[in-house]
Structure 1
Amino acid sequence: MASDRTAPPPFVRLAAHAVRWRLLSELARSDLRVRELVDLVGEPQNLVSYHLRLLRSSKLVTARRSSFDGRDSYYHLDLDRCADALADAGAALHPALRLLRAEPEEAPASETPSVLFMCTGNSARSPIAEALLRHRAGGRVEVASAGSHPRPRLHPHAVRVLRQHYGIDLTDQRPRHLGTMTGRRFDYVISLCDKVREACPEFDDHPRRLHWSIPDPDADGGGYPAFDRTATDIDTRVRHLHPILFPAPHGKAQP
């Protein structure tokens, strides 16, 4: 039997399996349901579910009940945990191979990606995502948010969490209807609500569709701590979105 020193690190053993690597690759792009993963991977549902259980047991993947259909679950890949596992795997082979997280690339002046965030009420999740992406991208992204059934105003806890933790003031912003986005061109349309994902309208130019399955912080009387957790989750996802919007030039090595 191989010793602990010569055995491949756990992440390598997990990710080396072809089906699990496909699952990781698909979940790295978007939160997805089992039936969607079955279609994308092209394997039977029982096999996909088995490998998802292994990935969940390693805490690389989490699952959450859909707010649209409680019989469904959305699976989400923890990219920060993957980054740590990859770094540990490199260091296990040789200390010089420990991977360092790359700093965000500066976007060429001619490239300005456009992103639309959607949720139902456009009062918390999607305006938080809009504000955080605009903040982190430093004005190098055209970003908007809207809702299928917009509320009269932003939730005060959403306004408060952005002001207290990120210095962002949304006091004067009002929720917008998805209909106001008709005719606008977007490179990416990102739903943050399971319900609005099912009701997403068609957009011109066929933008890339992504889904972030994030619970409504106002559900079940979560109060301000729920909005704090939601903003943290969204900020992590926005940070991971940045390299997708601004990929490193072809052939350029990452630090």
Structure 2
Amino acid sequence: MRSSGHAAPAFVHLAAHPLRWRLLTELASSDYRVRELVERAGQPQNLVSYHLRLLRGGGLVTARRSSFDARDSYYHLDLERCAHALAHAGTALHPALGFDLAQPPSTKPPARRPAVLFACTGNSARSPIAEALLRHRTNGQVEVTSAGSHPKPRIHPGAVRALREHHGIDISGQSPRHLDTLADRRFDYVISLCDKVREVCPDFGDHPRLVHWSIPDPAAADGPDRTGYPAFVRTAAEIDTRIRYLLPQLALTPREVQP
């Protein structure tokens, strides 16, 4: 057999290992802690940690300290970086196998109007940003709301400004709400954006798909260094990226989405 003399792209080496592929597929749907990945993969913790280090070294996975328990870290799959890596791998095999990264993931209308809840602690920044961005991107084809376990008196001005200036969305008339006010609602997805609220989020019944996005509170950047507003801009951008990759999942009927 004649060898081409070209090494396979780094993504192929990383993703080809069965355990690393399992970790990638688990993290594609939600952020998890090591012990949760150990349970889901059914492998020893030292082995899972070793392969997570390799995925982090390859830039596909990142880790953030939990805001609920600083001894824990949440692992996150960088879907945007994965998309670029996959495109490069396809092009390396044959130019016709690449794909246009400028094209967003499929946003075909869902089979039925799914219901999504975004939850965080204060419902003043992360969750209302996510609610507004998902509503904006789906043109009302998704029933979306947000709430908090300990809602603040008002939406944070930084969140209002970031959405208005960078996404053309006005949420200035919105007010935080408590999770308890939604106890009788049915949701297909419950997405927590705060490590603290993930531990206390109530059970909404009907077995919604539970997803966690471990995103730092941009309000924590408020202070004498005046880095507060850029943190809201970065947070809105990260949430918008995650929502773009959520859209193809929402296009499936709830019966087709695996828990």
Residue in 2 that maps onto 1:105:
107
The sequence identity of aligned pairs, in percent, is: 69
Instruction: Give the ranges of 4+ consecutive aligned residues of structure 1 lying more than 2 Å apart after TM superposition.
Output: 2-6, 99-106
CA 227–111 in structure 1, closer or farther in 2 if over 3 Å, else same: same
Deviation, 1:104, is 2.3
Amino acid at match of 1:218: A
Q: Secondary structure at the match of 1:218?
A: helix
- Paired residues for 1:70-89 under 5 Å: 70-89=70-89
How large is the RMSD of aligned CA atoms in angstroms? Answer: 1.7
Deviation, 1:4, is 8.7
Amino acid at match of 1:174: S
1:55-75 Cα deviation digits (max 9, x unpaired): 000110000000000000000
1:143-189 Cα deviation digits (max 9, x unpaired): 00000000000000100111111111111100000011111010000
CA distance in 1 between counterparts of 2:160 and 2:4 reads 50
Given that 2:194 and 2:214 are in contact with CA atoms closer than 8 Å, whether structure 1 keeps it comes out as yes
Amino acid at match of 1:113: P
Deviation, 1:3, is 8.4
CA distance in 2 between counterparts of 1:198 and 1:4 reads 52
Residue in 2 that maps onto 1:253:
none
- Paired residues for 1:36-75 under 5 Å: 36-75=36-75
CA distance in 2 between counterparts of 1:27 and 1:7 reads 27
Amino acid at match of 2:220: A
CA 116–59 in structure 1, closer or farther in 2 if over 3 Å, else same: same
Equivalent pairs counted in the alignment come to 246
Q: Secondary structure at the match of 1:185?
A: coil
1:202-221 Cα deviation digits (max 9, x unpaired): 01211000000000001142
CA distance in 1 between counterparts of 2:96 and 2:219 reads 46
Q: Secondary structure at the match of 2:218?
A: coil
Is 1:232 matched up with 2:237?
Answer: yes
Residue in 2 that maps onto 1:137:
138
CA 202–73 in structure 1, closer or farther in 2 if over 3 Å, else same: same
Residue in 1 that maps onto 2:166:
165
CA 5–127 in structure 1, closer or farther in 2 if over 3 Å, else same: farther
CA distance in 2 between counterparts of 1:32 and 1:167 reads 32
Structure 1 runs not aligned, ≥5 long: 249-255
Residue in 1 that maps onto 2:256:
none
CA distance in 2 between counterparts of 1:205 and 1:244 reads 18
CA distance in 2 between counterparts of 1:36 and 1:21 reads 16
CA distance in 1 between counterparts of 2:62 and 2:233 reads 20
Given that 1:122 and 1:150 are in contact with CA atoms closer than 8 Å, whether structure 2 keeps it comes out as yes
Amino acid at match of 2:107: E
Residue in 2 that maps onto 1:96:
96
Amino acid at match of 1:227: F
Q: Secondary structure at the match of 2:186?
A: coil
Residue in 1 that maps onto 2:257:
none
CA 163–220 in structure 1, closer or farther in 2 if over 3 Å, else same: closer
Residue in 1 that maps onto 2:129:
128
TM-score of the superposed pair, with normalisation by structure 1: 0.93
Amino acid at match of 1:6: H
Q: Secondary structure at the match of 2:216?
A: coil
CA distance in 1 between counterparts of 2:219 and 2:92 reads 44
CA 5–168 in structure 1, closer or farther in 2 if over 3 Å, else same: farther
